[in-house]
Amino acid sequence: MNDSTRSPGTLFVVGLGPGSPGLLTPDAASALDAADVVVGYQGYLDLIAPRLAGKEVIGRGLGQEVERARAALELAERGRTVALVSSGDAGVYGMGGVACELAARRETDVEIVVVPGVTAACSAAARLGAPLAHDWACLSLSDLLTPWDVIARRAEAVARADFALVVYNPGSRTRTWQLAALAEILLRHRDPRTPVGLVENAYRPGERVEVVRLSDLATAKVSMFTTVIIGSSRTFLSRGRMVTPRIYEAKSAETRPTPDLPGSSATEEVSGLERSPGEWRHSPGDAIMAESLAIIERELGPSPGDPAERAVVRRMIHASADFDYADRARFARGAIASAVAAFRAGAPVVADVEMLRAGIRSDLAGPLGVATVCGLSAIDGDAPALSSGLTRSAAGMRRAAELVGDGAVVAIGNAPTALMEALRMVEERGWRPACIVGIPVGFVGVEEAKGRLMGQDRVPFVTSLGRKGGTAVTAAAVNALLELAGGSR
């Protein structure tokens, strides 16, 4: 049979994944086994050499994508079963697009089967942590097939939209300036401290994983085998892992339940939220809250890196418009976990003053069964307590501790004397709150009280350095802990 009468064969365009045998999909392996000819870049063919025994192998150099696709199509048109291999996923900056586009131009009858693989973006992200956990975009810096002005416009759009960004083909021996140009575009819109992951040869010999700042990207060492992942404004670094959080603080406004108030019903407007069956409509106040938190997130930078600490600090900044708390907040090891566990068990909040007690949100505390107790109300009319020589706040803290016992979350935002009394009871009487949120404000005794709190290791704590603090900031911190306690369990 001559070539003109032979039925066309099949062309498998196979994504090999990053190169590790364990990440080659079963379908990709089956396609390679079925092929009698395998075409591809020689470096990728070397990665699967054990699978190619007994097959015709056609290797080509780097950059000869069209030549490889044409050779594979011509063989398939002669009735051969051909595998055209591509690293990662063949349809993502791979041979899938080249082969399908060329086949359309040739009007071929060859059956083309694109077999997906693990993308370079996904394999690099896995090595870095979870930098692509939220919305992200992908961009190739190769201007061999796409004009640079098009690439630059797309990079500007990505930067403005605040996507995390995966960069393919960041550089080569002949393309040396494009990465610096991209960094310049991004730095117009993003903090210089934004984490950037560089992964070269993921899951194969010669692997290199590095995290740098966006300010250092222009001079980073990259090659055609490097995948670059640039964080969004929300991406942070924790224990060496890049994380782009899925949990937006502003989302709480979308799911906040209506407080239980006497006489309210499912169709009544309550505290700015109107509920209808299966639907929430949000007040202008909720929109302002969401936008405020989004602004804080954009301006906060990568610190603090721990997601739970970040949630608390974000609320503290929202209550005060003071970004100093990002650097001055202090969390004892396990403090947030201890407070969250206490709230989930229904432990109360002990507040030093009525204003702080009033600032604890009932819509967060109520569903958890968390009551709020003020130490001052515990001593009203109590002559012995008031004649003890203590300030009213300190006396109230002593009596509240006696009433609630161990396991409460103590919140002190006004009086350093109340914090000093709480610590005295911890040290001398063995009182064990689950956590002390001690952020009093003032000029006399404040720094000493906070220093004493940070100097002890009996009770976990949340506090801040210096004189700043107050009831609003402390209530905001407690509300953030309640919000964490009421989240996914």
Task: Spell out where 214-259 has E strands.
Answer: 226-230, 236-238, 241-243
* DSSP state string for 57-94: EEEE-TT-HHHHHHHHHHHHHTT-EEEEEESB-TTSSS
Residues 6+ apart with CB under 8 A from 454: 330, 332, 461, 463
Partnered with residue 269 across adjacent β-strands are: 274
Distance, CA of 389 to CA of 336 (rounded, Å): 34
Q: What is the CA radius of gyration of the chain?
A: 31
Distance, CA of 352 to CA of 354 (rounded, Å): 7
Distance, CA of 348 to CA of 351 (rounded, Å): 10
CB 98 within 8 Å of CB 66: yes
CB 352 within 8 Å of CB 375: yes
Distance, CA of 182 to CA of 180 (rounded, Å): 5
Residues 6+ apart with CB under 8 A from 101: none
Give the active site residues: 318
Buried b / exposed e over 464-475, threshold 16 CB at 10 Å, is bbeebbbbbbbb
